[in-house]
């Protein structure tokens, strides 16, 4: 297929150099709002006042939509005080963490310019690229250096994202703000927008969820318990704003949501002011649109997962409020062999979530409000939802053998098959052209692990021995959740649970390729809960 030789021409790169110079700094407005600064005395205001408007990215600035064209762009990793951002310029428009817009079949040319005082690298989360372009961290871009990505977009339309991947520093760089969305368009996406009369930025919103800590406490300095369980912030932000509100009209809205949090899982639901739950329609997942919409009332979204949902405000009236909230769940975090620093707080670790005493934090599984929708304005047209959304590739027939991958904790570290990441070892060898099934089995005294595979989207075939509350949300006899019906690149595996997935490893690259399987709880990942996957 696409040759990955560098075909950038000299004129293009010269132009890039010039553009790059003009965007030496991220826009002065970055970060737009650290509403955290305004929070309560302990910095952890868990109130429910929605006083700030939702930030909706436009055609420039923070999260602005940057349409990738024929010419390469420069993405500059830069610091601005304690915040980090990718900056870019195009046609005199300046961006911070741009939403990179492209479409299936396009060729993307992006130069990463590292102006940080430390190495970094960009990984295109969810994209089916070769190792050279995957940015898996085994090759780093040193301070002052540039790296040129060039790849064909082989994925279906959907919401993907990009973030740094330097092993050991990924969590700190992402928490610092270095990440952005990648919006891949295709026929099916266009058809959906047309059928539902959706306007991006208006009736179609992208919502990026990230929990932060207040002010100085948000500077990434994990305590031992944070390193073990993950970096949890007590201030849930949506598009960089703490508990925002947004005005909508009484019609359907498409919400495309990314969980960009280091460690937190959200149990998302919409609650009306009379206390009832507003039903949702799941349209898509990590790897694009579902075959048909799936009705549900709540959705679990673990770190790095994306959901594409339709919220119907058509049954509400002007003056009503609807709250996007994360509902309570038992995070089941428990380790049998807690390191001394955590054991010191006097808990045995048998009920590990009780020992999660993250400084000023909202523990994983605690309920909170994320944002408020205020219904107003005229009741507009509300076209019906198409019954068919896409043609999803089918899962291959269940192979007789599954590759076992055991998730657990030993000798102070989270592990996969008792191993931690070793850049010199390749524990998973996949023969060329293979279609495999993998069995992800999480030990009962563990933590939920958001397992992510680079380079491939997969199907979730079944869940077994799931926690009770999860079984209650299942949509079929295989224990699958609504999001399991779509293509996935990240799947949450609960303590005691087994999740079987099917992966089609066929790829068009002439050479064999190296990818990664890891937990997307970034503290788990940085501590080595990651294995190399060699695909022939």
Q: How far apart are CA 121 and CA 61, in angstroms?
A: 22
Of positions 452, 500, 507, 524, contacts ligand C2O by CB under 6 A: 452
CB of 503 to ligand C2O, least distance (A): 15
The string of DSSP letters for 174-239 reads: HHTT--EEEEEE-HHHHHHHHHHT--BTTTEEEEEEEEE--GGGGS----HHHHHH----SEEEET
Q: How far apart are CA 493 and CA 48, in angstroms?
A: 31
- Helix spans in 374-514 (H): 468-471
The string of DSSP letters for 287-321 reads: TEEEEEEEEES-EEE-TT-EEEEEEEGGGS-TT-E
Nearer to Cu ion, 327 or 449 (CB): 449
Of positions 454, 488, 507, 532, contacts ligand C2O by CB under 6 A: 454
Q: Counting contacts by CB under 6 A, is residue 518 touching ligand C2O?
A: yes
Q: In the range 451-470, which residues lie near Cu ion by CB under 5 A?
A: 454
Sheet holding 73-80, edge to edge: 61-62, 93-96, 83-90, 73-80, 107-114, 146-152
Nearer to ligand C2O, 322 or 440 (CB): 440
Nearer to ligand C2O, 4 or 516 (CB): 516
CB of 358 to Cu ion, least distance (A): 16
Stretch that binds ligand C2O, among 31-39, 264-272, 383-391, 515-523 (CB under 6 A): 515-523
Residues in contact with Cu ion, shown as a per-residue x/- string from 99 to 138 under the rule CB under 5 A = --------------------------x-------------
Q: Which does 449 bind (CB under 5 to 8 A by kind): ligand C2O, Cu ion, none?
A: Cu ion
Unique residue bearing structure tokens 């060898």: 429
Identify whether the C-beta of residue 218 lies closer than 8 Å to the C-beta of residue 176.
Answer: no
Q: Counting contacts by CB under 6 A, is residue 304 touching ligand C2O?
A: yes
Q: In the range 324-343, which residues lie near ligand C2O by CB under 6 A?
A: none
Closest CA to 461 of 494, 432, 503: 503
Q: Counting contacts by CB under 6 A, is residue 125 touching ligand C2O?
A: yes
Nearer to ligand C2O, 266 or 313 (CB): 266
Q: Please count the other Cβ atoms lying within 10 Å of the Cβ belonging to residue 484.
A: 22
Q: Counting contacts by CB under 6 A, is residue 122 touching ligand C2O?
A: no
Identify whether the C-beta of residue 200 lies closer than 8 Å to the C-beta of residue 189.
Answer: no
Of positions 65, 76, 123, 327, contacts ligand C2O by CB under 6 A: 123
Of positions 151, 521, 522, 535, contacts Cu ion by CB under 5 A: 521
Q: How far apart are CA 35 and CA 324, in angstroms?
A: 18
CB of 282 to Cu ion, least distance (A): 22
Residues in contact with ligand C2O, shown as a per-residue x/- string from 158 to 187 under the rule CB under 6 A = -----x-x----------------------
Buried b (16+ CB within 10 A) or exposed e, 395-419: beeeeeebbebbbbbeebbbbbeee
Q: Counting contacts by CB under 5 A, is residue 517 touching Cu ion?
A: no
Stretch that binds ligand C2O, among 213-221, 226-234, 471-479, 516-524 (CB under 6 A): 516-524
- Total residues at the site for ligand C2O (CB under 6 A)? 10
Name the residues that contact Cu ion, by CB under 5 A.
Answer: 125, 449, 454, 519, 521, 524
Name the residues that contact ligand C2O, by CB under 6 A.
Answer: 123, 125, 163, 165, 304, 452, 454, 516, 518, 520
């Amino acid at each position: 297929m696409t040759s990955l030789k560098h075909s950038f021409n000299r004129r293009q790169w010269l132009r890039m150099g010039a553009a790059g110079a003009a965007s030496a700094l991220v826009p002065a407005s970055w970060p737009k709002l650290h509403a955290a600064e305004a929070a309560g005395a302990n910095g952890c205001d868990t109130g429910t006042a929605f006083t700030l408007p939702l930030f909706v990215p436009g055609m420039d600035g923070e999260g602005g939509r940057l349409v990738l064209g024929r010419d390469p762009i420069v993405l500059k990793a830069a610091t601005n005080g304690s915040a980090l951002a990718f900056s870019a310029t195009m046609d005199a428009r300046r961006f911070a963490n741009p939403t990179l817009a492209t479409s299936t079949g396009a060729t993307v040319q992006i130069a990463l310019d590292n102006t940080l005082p430390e190495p970094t690298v960009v990984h295109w989360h969810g994209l089916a690229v070769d190792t050279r372009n995957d940015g898996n961290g085994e090759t780093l871009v040193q301070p002052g250096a540039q790296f040129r990505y060039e790849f064909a977009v082989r994925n279906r339309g959907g919401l993907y994202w990009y973030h740094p991947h330097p092993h050991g520093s990924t969590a700190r760089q992402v928490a610092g703000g270095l990440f952005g969305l990648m919006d891949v368009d295709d026929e099916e996406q266009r058809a959906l927008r047309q059928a539902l009369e959706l306007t991006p930025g208006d009736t179609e919103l992208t919502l990026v969820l990230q929990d932060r800590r207040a002010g100085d406490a948000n500077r990434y300095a994990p305590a031992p318990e944070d390193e073990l369980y993950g970096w949890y912030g007590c201030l849930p932000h949506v598009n960089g704003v703490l508990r925002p509100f947004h005005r909508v009209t009484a019609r359907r809205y498409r919400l495309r949501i990314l969980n960009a949090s280091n460690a937190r899982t959200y149990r998302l639901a919409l609650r009306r002011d009379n206390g009832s739950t507003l039903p949702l329609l799941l349209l898509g997942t990590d790897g694009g649109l579902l075959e048909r919409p799936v009705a549900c009332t709540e959705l679990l979204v673990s770190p790095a997962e994306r959901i594409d949902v339709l919220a119907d405000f058509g049954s509400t009236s002007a003056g009503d409020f609807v709250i996007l909230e994360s509902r309570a769940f038992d995070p089941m975090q428990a380790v049998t062999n807690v390191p001394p620093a955590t054991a010191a707080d006097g808990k045995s670790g048998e009920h590990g979530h009780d020992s999660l005493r993250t400084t000023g934090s909202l523990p994983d599984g605690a309920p909170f409000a994320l944002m408020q929708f205020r219904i107003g304005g005229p009741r507009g047209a509300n076209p019906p939802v198409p019954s068919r959304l896409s043609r999803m590739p089918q899962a291959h027939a269940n192979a007789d053998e599954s590759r076992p991958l055991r998730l657990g904790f030993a000798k102070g570290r989270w592990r996969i098959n008792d191993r931690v990441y070793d850049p010199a070892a390749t524990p998973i060898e996949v023969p060329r052209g293979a279609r495999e099934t993998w069995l992800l089995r999480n030990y009962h005294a563990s933590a939920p692990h958001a397992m992510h595979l680079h380079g491939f989207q997969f199907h979730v075939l079944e869940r077994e021995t799931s926690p009770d509350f999860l079984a209650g949300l299942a949509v079929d006899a295989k224990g699958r959740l609504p999001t399991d019906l779509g293509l996935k690149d990240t799947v949450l595996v609960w303590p005691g649970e087994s999740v079987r997935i099917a992966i089609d490893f066929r790829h068009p690259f002439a050479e064999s390729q190296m990818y990664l399987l890891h937990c997307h709880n970034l503290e788990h990942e940085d501590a080595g809960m990651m294995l190399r996957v060699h695909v022939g």
